[in-house]
């Protein structure tokens, strides 16, 4: 994958867009831990901290597809930058006023989550305008998935470092200021300013009128449930096998597995329709969750957790390609944002579901949840494979281009849109 990534990063504006997007998404990626640490520093309870973090997550899940649709309608700079500024101002207000008065804290956190800019979906909409060949776009999707894993690993470390050096309040403000700078770096770039969504048919459902996209979202809801449940079951396991240090190793192994899988997946071009490939990847993902119920010693469990993460990034990267094939014309940013939202909601449901399961049956039953959720995701893909196999009739990326590496991913953009 290294050669392919270097080729992509050498493309004009590519490194800037990827870096700016990752930096711009730092407030979103670190919101949960930043809010919890700040509330605890203010003397609030764990229950209040968790509730405020949940409010941010719910508001973010609502805001992403709405803002994504606005990006498709009005362009990236008009939506992304104002949203980033509003989110940062709300987070700063929360940091300066604290948890008293409490209604203001609830409102500030909700606004911060609601207006977190859909930079992730925006980047995936930009890749075809920056890269010259469709095979490069597919490699970029894999690289993007790997970069997300790195960000979600490094982000919490940055929060804890800022808290150690200054304070939880300073960390909350600083990360949001940095986030605005990242969004600004993206939206003032020529590709972002030149990008225009393809013509769209007016429809209140927007991207959701694509049946294939709905199948994909349903499948990834359960992938999110699997991932969210692992984090809770791992806490219960670590309590009996070494405490916080073991939990940290388990989460790091999960990310390392995804990073490894994404790197290998992106190292080559894969034949066949991506919809069939996703079914195979999700099947492997579900199978690799099952050994977690064996619960060996800490070293063995770290290895099994790494295995559980191997097929996550490839499945996500493959899903990006499928979104592009099933998004109705003019809804690409909204469609990608729905995928982000669905995955996030699934992870939240998985976290909430695993808690009572672990409470009732212990860590072993908690680790059974991701296996079941992965299996349900596979069943969704198999049950609706005929729907998923046919790209949306109004999508602008033709199905016939999937295996043609010389065909540029051009249809979303006119030739004058290339920077």
CA atoms of 347 and 254, how far apart (whole Å) = 15
Sign of the C-alpha dihedral, residues 363, 309, 386, 203? positive
- pLDDT per residue rounded down to tens, the chain (419 residues): 556 677 778 888 999 999 999 999 999 888 877 887 898 889 888 778 878 887 888 899 899 999 999 999 999 999 999 999 999 999 999 999 999 899 999 999 999 999 999 998 889 889 888 887 777 887 888 787 777 777 776 777 788 788 888 998 999 999 999 999 999 999 999 999 998 877 766 666 778 889 999 999 999 999 999 988 887 788 788 888 877 678 778 887 888 888 888 888 877 778 888 999 999 999 999 999 999 999 999 999 999 999 999 999 899 989 988 998 898 888 888 888 899 889 888 887 887 788 888 888 888 999 999 999 999 999 999 999 999 988 876 555 443 333 333 333 333 333 233 33
Same domain flag for 225 and 186: no
Position 416 in a domain: no
Angle of helix 168-187 relative to helix 134-165, nearest 10 degrees? 150
Residue 394 has a pLDDT of 55
Q: Are residues 160 and 19 in the same domain?
A: yes
Q: Final residue of a domain: which of 196, 216, 239?
A: 196
pLDDT of residue 404: 38
Q: Does residue 148 sit within a domain?
A: yes
Q: How far apart are CA 259 and CA 165, in angstroms?
A: 29
**375 and 313 in a common domain:** yes
Choosing from 196, 217, 241, the residue where a domain stops is 196
Q: Which token pair is 410?
A: 């051009």
**Calpha distance 219→388 (Å, rounded):** 11
Q: What is the CATH number of the domain that holds 54?
A: 1.20.1250.20
- 406, part of any domain: no
**Domain count of the fold of the chain:** 2
Query: Are residues 161 and 243 both part of a single domain?
Result: no
Tell which of 161, 196, 231 closes a domain: 196
Q: Note whether 243 and 97 are same-domain residues.
A: no
Q: Does some domain include residue 283? A: yes
Structural domain of 5: 1-196
Same domain membership, residue 213 and residue 189: no
Is residue 159 assigned to a domain? yes
Q: Do 251 and 376 lie in a common domain?
A: yes
Say what the pTM is. 0.75
Q: Which residues of 90-121 are buried (b: 16+ CB within 10 A; e: fewer)?
A: bbbbbbeebbeeeeebbebbbbbbbbbbbbbb
Indicate if 237 and 168 belong to the same structural domain. no
In a domain, 102, yes or no: yes
Q: Are residues 107 and 188 in the same domain?
A: yes
């Amino acid at each position: 994958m290294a050669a392919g990534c270097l080729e992509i990063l050498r493309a004009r504006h590519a490194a800037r867009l990827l870096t700016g997007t990752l930096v711009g998404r730092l407030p979103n990626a670190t919101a949960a831990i930043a809010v919890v640490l700040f509330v605890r520093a203010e003397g609030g309870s764990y229950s209040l901290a968790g509730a405020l973090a949940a409010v941010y997550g719910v508001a973010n899940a609502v805001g992403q597809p709405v803002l994504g649709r606005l990006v498709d309608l009005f362009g990236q700079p008009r939506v992304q930058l104002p949203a980033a500024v509003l989110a940062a101002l709300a987070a700063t207000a929360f940091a300066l006023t604290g948890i008293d008065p409490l209604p203001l804290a609830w409102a500030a956190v909700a606004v911060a989550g609601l207006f977190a800019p859909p930079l992730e979906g925006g980047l995936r909409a930009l890749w075809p305008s920056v890269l010259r060949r469709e095979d490069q776009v597919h490699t970029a999707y894999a690289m993007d998935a790997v970069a997300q894993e790195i960000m979600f690993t490094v982000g919490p470390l940055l929060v804890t470092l800022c808290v150690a050096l200054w304070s939880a309040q300073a960390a909350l403000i600083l990360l949001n200021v940095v986030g605005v700078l990242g969004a600004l770096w993206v939206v003032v770039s020529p590709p972002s300013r030149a990008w225009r969504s393809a013509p769209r048919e007016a429809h209140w459902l927007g991207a959701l009128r694509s049946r294939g996209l709905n199948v994909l979202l349903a499948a990834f809801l359960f992938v999110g449930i699997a991932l969210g449940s692992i984090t809770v079951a791992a806490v219960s396991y670590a309590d009996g096998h070494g405490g916080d240090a073991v939990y940290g190793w388990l989460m790091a192994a999960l990310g390392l597995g995804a990073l490894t899988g994404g790197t290998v997946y992106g190292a080559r071009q894969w034949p066949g329709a991506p919809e069939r490939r996703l079914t195979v990847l999700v099947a492997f993902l579900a199978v690799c969750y099952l050994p977690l119920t064996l619960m060996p010693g800490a070293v063995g469990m770290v290895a099994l957790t790494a295995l559980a993460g191997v097929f996550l990034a490839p499945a996500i990267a493959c899903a990006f390609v499928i979104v592009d094939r099933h998004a109705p014309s003019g809804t690409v940013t909204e469609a990608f944002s729905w995928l982000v939202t669905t995955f996030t909601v699934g992870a939240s449901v998985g976290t909430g579901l695993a808690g009572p399961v672990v409470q009732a049956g212990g860590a072993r039953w908690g680790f059974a949840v991701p296996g079941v959720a992965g299996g349900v995701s596979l069943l969704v893909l198999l049950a609706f494979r005929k729907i998923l196999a046919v790209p949306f009739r109004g999508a602008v990326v033709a199905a016939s281009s999937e295996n043609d590496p010389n065909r540029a991913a051009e249809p979303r953009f006119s030739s004058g849109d290339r920077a």
